Amino acid sequence: MTGLLVCGGGAIPLVAQDAKQQETAGDAAQKQDDEKPATLREQYQTLLGEFNKSMAEYRQAMQNQELTAEERKALSEKMPKIADYAVKIKELIAAEPAGDVALDAYLFLAGNTRNGPVFDEAVEAVFTHFAQSERLADLGRLAMIGTPKGDALLERIIEVTPHDSVKGKTMFNIANFLSSRDDEASEKRCLELLQTIQDKYAEVDMGRGRKLGDRVPGMLFAIQNLKIGKVAPDIEGNDIDEVSFKLSDYRGKVVVLDFWGDW
Amino acid sequence: MYPHERSLVKQLADKPFALIGVNSDPDLEKLRETLKEKNLTWRSFWNGPEGTSGPISTKWNVTGWPTIYVMDQNGVIRYKNVRGAKMDEAVTALLAEMGHEVEIKHDEEDHD
């Protein structure tokens, strides 16, 4: 058994399972060479492990408060570059550009860049090889919503996906973003999206027994009642001493309403 | 956030101003201790044992914490998600509309 533990394809640090000694990712790869050829998945995890390790070391080094400005600058030039790893990762997955490992890799690269050439290339690769995958929704979560490019990416996902779940979830993400804006065009588009979600995608499973349609009434309420310029809906509830009161008890005063938690 | 809000509440104690919380901690006993410990004097609705999935935050479609609304004396929503100095500016402007000129100042340690 080598010291590799694969955790759901995310950027999870490698965990050494060998009881005798903690192995680094490099050692693990070396040891694998002695046994049998590493699978593509293992090689990919090794690369991710190297990246995560070098990033962790870099962050730790930068935390040193005693660094002079010059030392800090010199150090910052040595920051591990995602572009360098992108080259290695692309070489690795070239053998199976449409395989599971490749999809994880593209999403990792897109998620660690969010913009720029590495992001664009990863996005194109996902559309080329995985347009039919339900995980297109994961790509949608990495889009910078509210920017022309991010919005175009989301529209493209909705257009190409054959899956109701991907369409519905992506539309909901857009609607959620639009619901926080106060201009009329955003409101109109948001209402259109919510109507479509209600009509066509209400049954999409959101996990934990919830459906996408369950989220619609809350957002409609927010659009209709929680915009700037609307009279705040009343709240009636108990305070922490279990004494009932209402938000409207405070009419005549300027009120800051703060949804908070001590966590 | 506590020092800033504590300072705001203290400075505006004699003004027509209220800071009202909607607290989403699921454990009421623990919350009571926290309030005492941190000397948080403003009144909060409790969102119930479901925590962040409780009825008030669900109705208000709150998906991020903190979420902040600022209402004028007529209960009209005038600002959203203003924090720190922005919250001070919002409150100052709304109090000015009511004829109360205030200048909100915080000690260094009151900043977020």
pLDDT in tens, A35-44: 678 899 999 9
DSSP secondary structure, B68-112, as one string = EEEE-TTSBEEEES--THHHHHHHHHHHHHTT--------GGG--
Burial of A67 (0-12, 13-18, 19+ CB in 10 A): middle
A85 vs A67: CA distance, rounded Å: 27
Model confidence pLDDT, tens digit, residues A97-107: 999 999 999 99
Kindly give the interhelix angle for A100-113 and A116-130, rounded to the nearest 10 degrees: 150
Q: Copy the structure tokens of residue B79.
A: 């600002």
Interface test with A, best of B39, B77, B104 (most A CBs within 10 A): B77
A250 vs A216: CA distance, rounded Å: 30
Interface test with A, best of B1, B6, B8, B22 (most A CBs within 10 A): B22
Give the percent of chain A with pLDDT over 90. 66
Higher pLDDT, residue A8 or A89: A89
Residues of A in contact with B37 (CB under 8 A): none
The answer, yes or no, to whether residue A14 has pLDDT greater than 70, is no
Q: Which residue in B32, B110, B12, B81 sits closest to A258, CA to CA?
A: B81
Model confidence band, residue A7 (pLDDT cutoffs 50, 70, 90): very low
Rounded to 5°, the CA angle A154-A167-A97 comes to: 70
B77 vs B75: CA distance, rounded Å: 6
Cβ of A217 under 8 Å from any chain B Cβ? no
Q: Which residue in A217, A261, A212 sits closest to B58, CA to CA?
A: A217
Interface test with A, best of B15, B19, B69, B72 (most A CBs within 10 A): B69
Model confidence pLDDT, tens digit, residues A197-220: 999 999 999 888 889 998 898 888
Q: Which of A112-116, A186-190, B72-76, B108-112 ranks highest by mean pLDDT?
A: B72-76
Q: Which of A18-32, A64-78, A211-225, B4-18 ranks highest by mean pLDDT?
A: B4-18
Model confidence band, residue A229 (pLDDT cutoffs 50, 70, 90): very high
**Residue B5 · residue B19 · CB < 8 Å:** yes
Cβ of B99 under 8 Å from any chain A Cβ? no
**Residue A149 · residue A140 · CB < 8 Å:** no
The amino acid sitting at B86 is K
Q: Which residue of chain B is at minimal alpha-carbon distance from A246?
A: B45
B11 vs B87: CA distance, rounded Å: 14
Residues of A in contact with B89 (CB under 8 A): none
Model confidence band, residue A223 (pLDDT cutoffs 50, 70, 90): confident
Model confidence pLDDT, tens digit, residues A62-75: 888 888 889 989 98
**What's the complex ipTM?**
0.95
Query: Do A259 and B20 lie within an 8 Å CB cutoff?
Result: no
A204 vs A214: CA distance, rounded Å: 10
Lowest mean pLDDT among A33-42, A163-172, A187-196, B47-56: A33-42
Query: Do B60 and A226 lie within an 8 Å CB cutoff?
Result: yes
Name the CA dihedral angle for A208, A210, A215, A217, rounded to a multiple of 10 degrees. -140
B12 vs B16: CA distance, rounded Å: 8
Return the number of other C-beta atoms located less than 10 Å from residue A120's C-beta: 14
Per-residue pLDDT, A31: 54
The answer, yes or no, to whether residue A258 has pLDDT greater than 90, is yes
